[in-house]
Amino acid sequence: MILKSRFRLLLFLVVMGLLSVFSGITMAATTVKGEWKDYTVSAEGFALALPIGWTSLDLDPETIETSIKKVTKENPELGAIINQAEGMIAQGVKFFAFEFNNTQSAAFPTSINVIRQELPNKPSLDEMAKLTTKQLEKMSNLEKKPTHRRIKIKAGEAEEFSYTMKVKSGKQTIAVSFSQYVIVNQNDLFIITLATIQNQAAKYAPTFKQIIESFQLVEKTVAVEVDANQEESISADEAEIGTAEATDEAVVVDEADAADAEEAAVDEAEVIDEADEE
């Protein structure tokens, strides 16, 4: 039962990996190395580098509309593809970027997407590789049988799959070459998919190699959100603390004034006594 559940999950992820070349998600670049940018998606626990000519699309639910308008304004030819981006938020895509120029097909720009899925148990890379192989071999639109091999990258061991399949985009049927990588880290399953049209595969092979070699795992960070009620509560607490501190200071001042007054009264009494004695 557990194996079947893993298989269904992997089927979903692989299919999403194939479809999500038409949309995706990314974070802002943090640094620039020569002609490459480093991207860190700390909430999902990974980082990678891409050529500076690639365009990323932010699928943050709060900013997705703005992101789509910006990208489609810069690349009107990609409007129909980019407008599918909102659907990817619920499909597990964590990062997406693409390169497009006038020599490429607008129906299928060269792209990368990353899916991360947390699994209920800790499968081995061998298990995931076998399941992926079986699933790919069942796909009817493959041009040829997939090949795969074990490689080592910054993130550790990964299973690399290479295959070509026919993908429908509108009225067109396009031959697309895929380089797909499966990585397992404890309960986390990563599927990285790099894709380009078949006649561009040789050109992009060195770039794809450099991209996947840059992929690495990083420490996850969890954003702590504080709602308005909590903020009001915190402010109220801070106000109470401030009032208490002010009260304490007032008490200290009053005590100091009382001590000074008492000392002055004693001195005055002593002066009077001395005067009476004289």
pLDDT in tens, 137-150: 999 899 888 999 99
**pLDDT score, position 71:** 72
> Exposure string (b/e) for 83-120, b if CB count within 10 Å is 16 or more?
eebeebbebbbbbbbbbbeeebbebbbbbbbbbbbebe
Whole-model pTM: value is 0.70
Indicate the residue among 217, 238, 256 that finishes a domain.
217
One domain for residues 184 and 269? no
Q: Is 50 exceeded by the pLDDT of residue 133?
A: yes
**pLDDT score, position 16:** 45
Q: Is 212 exposed, middle or buried (0-12, 13-18, 19+ CB in 10 A)?
A: buried
Identify the band that residue 109 occupies on the pLDDT scale cut at 50, 70 and 90. confident
Choose from 74-83, 92-101, 172-181 the range with maximum mean pLDDT.
172-181
One domain for residues 155 and 266? no
Where is pLDDT greater, at 125 or 271?
125
One domain for residues 237 and 202? no
Q: 31-86, pLDDT tens digit by residue?
A: 555 699 999 999 899 999 999 989 887 766 677 678 777 777 777 766 655 666 66
One domain for residues 259 and 129? no
CATH number at residue 192: 3.40.1000.10
Q: Is 38 exposed, middle or buried (0-12, 13-18, 19+ CB in 10 A)?
A: middle
Indicate the residue among 194, 217, 240 that finishes a domain.
217
One domain for residues 266 and 180? no
Q: Is 70 exceeded by the pLDDT of residue 250?
A: no
Where is pLDDT greater, at 257 or 190?
190
Given a contact cutoff of 8 angstroms between Cβ atoms, the answer to whether 41 and 165 are in contact is no
Indicate the residue among 217, 232, 255 that finishes a domain.
217
One domain for residues 94 and 191? yes
One domain for residues 159 and 191? yes
Q: 191-206, pLDDT tens digit by residue?
A: 999 999 999 999 999 9
**pLDDT score, position 164:** 95
One domain for residues 162 and 262? no
| Structural domain count of the chain | 2
One domain for residues 39 and 62? yes
Query: What range does the domain containing 7 cover?
Result: 2-217
In this structure, what token pair is assigned to residue 159?
């299973």
Choose from 46-55, 248-257, 266-275 the range with maximum mean pLDDT.
46-55
Q: Is 50 exceeded by the pLDDT of residue 7?
A: no
